[in-house]
Amino acid sequence: MRACVRNLPVVLLGLALVAGCGKPKGTLSGRVTLNGDPLPAGQVTAYGPDNHILGISEISDGSYTFSDLPPGPVTLTVTTHYPDGRPLGDQRPPPREGEKLQPLAPEKQQELDKYKPVPLKYAYLGKSELKATVAKGNTSYDIEMTGKGEIPKPPPIKPSGGGPITAPPK
The segments of the chain whose pLDDT lies below 50 read 5, 8-20
Per-residue confidence (pLDDT) for residue 159, from 0 to 100: 54
Name the pairing type of β-strands 137-140 and 26-34.
Answer: parallel
Q: Rounded CA gap, 161 and 143, in Å?
A: 30
Per-residue confidence (pLDDT) for residue 112, from 0 to 100: 92
Per-residue confidence (pLDDT) for residue 85, from 0 to 100: 86
Supply the pTM of this predicted model: 0.75
Per-residue confidence (pLDDT) for residue 92, from 0 to 100: 87
The domains found in the chain, sorted by start residue, are 23-145 (2.60.40.10)
Per-residue confidence (pLDDT) for residue 153, from 0 to 100: 84
Q: Rounded CA gap, 42 and 31, in Å?
A: 12
Using an 8 Å Cβ cutoff, are 81 and 43 in contact? no
Using an 8 Å Cβ cutoff, are 165 and 124 in contact? yes
Pick the closest to residue 69 from 96, 44, 92, 86 (CA basis): 44
